[in-house]
Structure 1
């Protein structure tokens, strides 16, 4: 691999920070937790370990409530360095014990950067929970207590973690975070608790991620054969669960002294093991590489899982987008149907158009039609709007109503479709997406007026030559423009093939004949095409505007980390894990 492993890991961390899983699709809560855990593990352990393979081996001591972890730590050091007692939870702020010479490795943010450092005997952390706080909903500790003690062998550090099954949720979260930062996990259980379900779930996770695990079975009754029997049973359970344990240490039930300390003899084997491990740099490096290699392989699995979840989010966003677009596409089609089925050319529009062209026999000849229309316009009553202007206004008003009605129905259909699924309901929550904004009616009216202005300008430009201009001016630009608007709205199906035609078809034919009289057949077809194209553009924009509130909500969800990006991360992480294992 030409790219440095830490570069790949840092890019993956950035993709995790960018990952957006906002929609309530199946498994999203677990995916969010997995993303947070992976990001935590990258910063707490994997990246810093690969950057400094010669750093002290971090041994995290974890286990169930009341297993005696703190008592064990105190015995390993030979002093009361970690709080122990009957009140639960006991260990609230994690304690990291290290040799004085190793202090520079832990005072900075090399590992567990999210936890502030507090030195033993130094400033008290005001956020550290009190010992007696047994609330099940408290936040995890925000600091890490560092204790330098030269009785800890150089090259080794011990971290006393909270209970993995603590009654305090914050403690449980912190315990799992610390275990993800471990090079070596020392799991502490007891003779009567070693089969509990929660620890085994954590052990299986450790096995899947190839964390090196040592196990201490504590408080074994001192009766002949009991230790051997329990050890055999525990080993069998581990083997059946596919959990590989490096060492199993048996600690007998022992009376504590007046300070609450175990006698050194009770943990002699464990003490000797750590002493030898600290002195064997090659063994420490082998454990560190094995664990970090397993962690990277586990991150590759997480990356693939998250890629699938990101894909599910993308599919859900696409589905919701399709539903919204389909609803408004249907509105757009229904607007075209209303404009082409002749319904707009009835009622008020027909009445105003008849004021312009008259009623009765309208196919008595082209020149007769032109003359009659010109005469009627010239006879308009003074002080009233010209018949052509009234017809133009009626057409505009009718078109505005059609657009408003159909876009409102489109928004209602889109919102109704969204509310049938949890993801859509979440997006629609708190917003009346189907309500028309107060400004929308005026926007539609302005757009239709602008289109009518386009049509009038088209008439002026087409009638530029002297003869045509004279004809246009004799009727008035508005009257000719209304005729062109009517032709645009009329479908070819309205052109009559017999003597009986409906009012809408008759209206269209009069407009068509009038325009042909002025401009000729080819020019009328060209003008109608251009006018329709311009109307289409404005209608498309109006309908698209009403879909924006829906699409904007979807666009706001889009994260930068795609399913494809995460899949590429997974492949790169698998390659890094393979290289680490080959070097081990």
Structure 2
């Protein structure tokens, strides 16, 4: 009874009911225990039309272009990682893995060689008799079957010896380690390898152009088996679904059957272990369910309940129509190509839809990243505006600064000098000071301390607000991962001090540039560059705020004093220009300090690597759609 697929007697089948859906031979057959006879007739089988050399070249060119488009799109999908914890991220990550695996396992290899052997994956529920069916087709035990579940721990690929190269890892299912059977014997199962394996078994009984994969149970108690079964089914050109009278309505198989329908994968069905006398009733119900699901089975075979022989095989008569169908399919290259292209087109269409979902997920990733960054930007922008306001409204000119300033200027004498006229003031710049120019140093230090404290305080508030906002978001919490960024980081205080001193040096440089006139230079030199710089700083912190009335009194007239003194040296227009430049310089330095401080948050977002821009993912989906349409036209 060996080599049944290769040497079936054409007079072996008694009863055949033909159901032509698109396949060369389609049938729903029930057998009795009587010696069967067969009368098969190929329906619609035609020899492929002759094709010119030019047509071959055009087809090859189209295939190359399609393959390149899919490879480009696949590379984009492989770069997706969905690192941020969005609402649907787990589903997106699973979808990305599934889509890339299907492209690697099936679409790309098949697209590169549509005329390679047709991969028929035998799959179904636990205890459906898949391995028994495969063994019976071959006529000898070639895969493991038994009562202990899960039975099929290692999928077996049965192929003709000359087709071995077609199933090399670089051609299909690249992530499965190949284990080669020796002398037709399966290697010992090792469930602890931790590596997905595919047992390669050459078998002369397999028809030319066909290969069979005996897959693990789709509802196995082993999660790894279930995952592997789905992976193999995604790599099938044709799915030979095996079920039983007791299990054909189970939910899990129908989930995969519905997925197969959505992908337009060709499905053949074996309804196994049907009680004697219930064949018509159960078969009719199964047909109804298939029709309602939109599935047109290319082949349907009903097998009655029967005992197995000493080799664990069922009656040879039970599988003869399936043997014929596979033989005819293997012999018809046009039909094989049509099935492969139909499955490819459906797979690409399905992948295009999946990629559009991934595109939405990638949009969510970029939107989430922007949201987290904007939460930080807004907190630090608020800090900047607060610091900016405090350096304009006289707030820095109170307390210690005001005291030191009054010691330096001698406010009462200066105001009396203002009454004598600005012209006389220009000639008395040095004499109006109560103390010496060296007394400007305490004012400068007090200003530095005050500005330093304001910047540190507002930066700390911004960091605290940013962290609180992130902790309110799943993505932000995941990025922080327990790290405390809501505080001043080490070294920032020194950076602020350095920046303030650099700003003070810029002001001195500005005074020297502006006082190039000999008369002006003589005036500010008589006061001293440092003292003049302090006066300008005081003016910057007050005059642009428009101090009037009570604020002048509160600040001890600091803004008016500084402004008038500078105007006495440089003139009104020059003072306005100098104050504006000094103010912009200070704002720039404060902005740079805050940008550096907020960088800890921003770098956390940038460090995860969001992957390709969403529009690139959208273009990948369009590539899949274009190639799918191309396959549909060429089918």
Instruction: Give the TM-score band, short-chain normalised.
Output: over 0.9
Distance 1:125 1:445 in 2: 76
Of residues 312, 333, 342 in structure 1, which corresponds to 2:385?
333
Is 2:127 the partner of 1:66?
Answer: yes
**Scaled by the length of structure 1, what TM-score is found?**
0.93
Distance 2:273 2:423 in 1: 116
Distance 2:590 2:186 in 1: 64
Aligned to 2:329: 277
Aligned to 1:561: 612
Q: In structure 2, do the counterparts of structure 1 residues 449 and 493 end up closer, same or farther at CA, with 3 Å as the change threshold?
A: closer
Question: After superposition, what is the alpha-carbon deviation per residue over 1:7-49, rounded to whole angstroms, capped at 9, x for unaligned?
Answer: 1110111001111311222222111111111111111111111
Shift of 1:369: 6.2
Aligned to 2:396: 344
Shift of 1:347: 0.6
Count of residues in Structure 1 that have an aligned counterpart in Structure 2 = 570
Give the 3-state SS of the residue equivalent to 2:415 in structure 1: coil
Aligned to 1:96: 157
Is 2:138 the partner of 1:82?
Answer: no
- For the 8 Å contact 1:20–1:561, the answer to whether it is kept is no
Give the alignment of 1:419-498 within 5 angstroms: 419-496=471-548
- For the 8 Å contact 1:254–1:266, the answer to whether it is kept is no
Distance 2:631 2:348 in 1: 9
Of residues 213, 232, 244 in structure 1, which corresponds to 2:267?
213
Give the 3-state SS of the residue equivalent to 1:406 in structure 2: helix
Question: After superposition, what is the alpha-carbon deviation per residue over 1:107-130, rounded to whole angstroms, capped at 9, x for unaligned?
Answer: 342000111211102899999633
Question: After superposition, what is the alpha-carbon deviation per residue over 1:518-548, rounded to whole angstroms, capped at 9, x for unaligned?
Answer: 1111111111111111111111100101111
Give the alignment of 1:528-543 within 5 angstroms: 528-543=579-594
Give the 3-state SS of the residue equivalent to 2:158 in structure 1: strand
- For the 8 Å contact 1:300–1:571, the answer to whether it is kept is yes
- For the 8 Å contact 1:44–1:113, the answer to whether it is kept is yes
- For the 8 Å contact 2:542–2:559, the answer to whether it is kept is yes
Point out where structure 2 has 5 or more consecutive residues left out of the alignment. 1-60
Aligned to 1:106: 167
Distance 1:220 1:288 in 2: 31
**Scaled by the length of structure 2, what TM-score is found?**
0.86
- For the 8 Å contact 2:402–2:556, the answer to whether it is kept is no
Is 2:635 the partner of 1:574?
Answer: no
Distance 2:626 2:545 in 1: 67
Shift of 1:363: 2.5
Give the 3-state SS of the residue equivalent to 1:248 in structure 2: strand
- For the 8 Å contact 1:362–1:369, the answer to whether it is kept is no
Give the 3-state SS of the residue equivalent to 2:281 in structure 1: helix
Distance 1:239 1:531 in 2: 81
Question: After superposition, what is the alpha-carbon deviation per residue over 1:52-94, rounded to whole angstroms, capped at 9, x for unaligned?
Answer: 1111000001111111111111111111111111221111111
Of residues 225, 230, 255 in structure 2, which corresponds to 1:176?
230
Give the 3-state SS of the residue equivalent to 2:430 in structure 1: helix
Q: In structure 2, do the counterparts of structure 1 residues 499 and 369 end up closer, same or farther at CA, with 3 Å as the change threshold?
A: farther
Is 2:250 the partner of 1:196?
Answer: yes
- For the 8 Å contact 1:127–1:142, the answer to whether it is kept is no
Distance 1:534 1:190 in 2: 82
Distance 1:324 1:240 in 2: 54
Of residues 561, 570, 574 in structure 2, which corresponds to 1:510?
561
Shift of 1:264: 1.3
Q: In structure 2, do the counterparts of structure 1 residues 25 and 560 end up closer, same or farther at CA, with 3 Å as the change threshold?
A: closer
Shift of 1:196: 0.8
Aligned to 1:261: 313
Q: In structure 2, do the counterparts of structure 1 residues 124 and 13 end up closer, same or farther at CA, with 3 Å as the change threshold?
A: farther
Give the 3-state SS of the residue equivalent to 2:412 in structure 1: coil
Aligned to 2:93: 32
Shift of 1:263: 2.2
Give the 3-state SS of the residue equivalent to 1:92 in structure 2: coil
Please give the root-mean-square deviation of Cα atoms over the aligned residues, in Å. 2.3
Shift of 1:504: 2.1
- For the 8 Å contact 2:414–2:432, the answer to whether it is kept is no
Distance 1:420 1:127 in 2: 53
Aligned to 1:117: 178
Aligned to 1:374: 430
Is 2:108 the partner of 1:47?
Answer: yes
Shift of 1:331: 0.6
Q: In structure 2, do the counterparts of structure 1 residues 75 and 510 end up closer, same or farther at CA, with 3 Å as the change threshold?
A: same
Aligned to 1:551: 602
- For the 8 Å contact 2:218–2:225, the answer to whether it is kept is yes
- For the 8 Å contact 1:21–1:28, the answer to whether it is kept is yes
Aligned to 2:7: none
Shift of 1:143: 1.8
Distance 1:522 1:486 in 2: 17
Distance 1:511 1:368 in 2: 17
Distance 1:342 1:263 in 2: 101
Distance 2:556 2:287 in 1: 92
For structure 1, which segment, 239-248 or 540-549, has the greater mean C-alpha deviation from structure 2 after superposition?
A: 239-248
Distance 1:379 1:214 in 2: 104
Aligned to 2:9: none
Is 2:206 the partner of 1:152?
Answer: yes
Question: After superposition, what is the alpha-carbon deviation per residue over 1:348-368, rounded to whole angstroms, capped at 9, x for unaligned?
Answer: 111111111013353322477
Question: After superposition, what is the alpha-carbon deviation per residue over 1:126-163, rounded to whole angstroms, capped at 9, x for unaligned?
Answer: 99633xx8xxxx95x42211000101111100001111
For structure 1, which segment, 389-398 or 267-276, has the greater mean C-alpha deviation from structure 2 after superposition?
A: 267-276
Point out where structure 1 has 5 or more consecutive residues left out of the alignment. none
Shift of 1:173: 1.0
Shift of 1:506: 0.6
Distance 1:200 1:341 in 2: 73
For structure 1, which segment, 434-443 or 565-574, has the greater mean C-alpha deviation from structure 2 after superposition?
A: 565-574
